[in-house]
Amino acid sequence: MVVVAIAGGTGIAGRAVVAEAVRRGFVVRSVSRHVPLEAERIAGVQYLAGDFRSGVGMAVALGGADVLIETLDAKTGSALKALPRTSVAVLAEASRAGIERCVLLTIVNAAECSMGYYQVQAARARSYEAAGMPTSVVYATQFHNLLAGLFSAGSKVGLIPAFTGVSFQPIATADVARILVDEAAWASTDSASFHRSVRAGGPSVWSMKALAEQWKSATSARGLVTPVPLPGAFGTFLRAGKNLAPGAELGAIEFSDWLEAGSFRV
């Protein structure tokens, strides 16, 4: 039985990866600093406490694992600044534990956005490319959850934002999880592929305005869909369509299907 360790298995992407790996019959270990309450756990999954930044708990968390999928993240502050070093530590711990392949989730074209968060994501990918052990990097477009979060936050003040001149190719975390677990499964089927790189976009491109309208209609939320000019590096990146992954429409679940399934309530 293949043992999959998921670094960050309690996060937004990580939870979907845990569920997918269980569905595919792997032995699944979720590793994060905090373990979820009993009621939030998926049956059969081993939830272990460990900190990849400090190294605490790593020997137990990774001992005997065959492959590792990294879905760690930090949004701000010293944890974000340290994240590239944390990803290097993940690789070192995995190598020490004899893990066959490490798979990283990051963002499509992150290196082309000068915003700090994106530069951190790009640095992590470079570490995986140069790791000297079998690795895969999955470069995904923005998640459905991210857009729903932006619309929901705006609606609280009566304004559902639609950045002008911006489109997204959003992807469901369930689709991202399938692709990440596929990459992990390469460990047993093709050890010759030392480094693999996969772009993963949602099924189609939509203007942010169209997505905002879909969200408003599905949630019956209050607020007006409002054009908002987005300044700065992130605005430039988005208006240039760098957040899209043409030719890599690997996701199957449209934003509207995701909304209809009620996934935004989770």
**Site residues, ligand NAP (CB under 6 A):** 8, 10-14, 32-34, 50-53, 71-74, 86, 105-107, 121, 140, 142-143, 146
Of 12 and 210, the one with the shorter C-beta distance to ligand NAP is 12
Count Cβ atoms within 10 A of the Cβ of residue 196 and give its class: 0-12 exposed, 13-18 middle, 19 or more buried: middle
- Output the residue with the shortest Cβ distance to ligand NAP: 11
Of 106 and 136, the one with the shorter C-beta distance to ligand NAP is 106
Dihedral sign from CA coordinates of 98, 61, 81, 138: positive
Count Cβ atoms within 10 A of the Cβ of residue 33 and give its class: 0-12 exposed, 13-18 middle, 19 or more buried: middle
How far apart are CB 82 and ligand NAP at their closest, in Å?
A: 8
How far apart are CB 14 and ligand NAP at their closest, in Å?
A: 5
DSSP string for 101-145: EEEEEEETTGGG--SHHHHHHHHHHHHHHTSSS-EEEEEE--BHH
Of 34 and 265, the one with the shorter C-beta distance to ligand NAP is 34
How far apart are CB 121 and ligand NAP at their closest, in Å?
A: 5
Query: Longest Cα pair distance anywhere in the chain, in angstroms?
Result: 54
How far apart are CB 138 and ligand NAP at their closest, in Å?
A: 8
Of 86 and 189, the one with the shorter C-beta distance to ligand NAP is 86
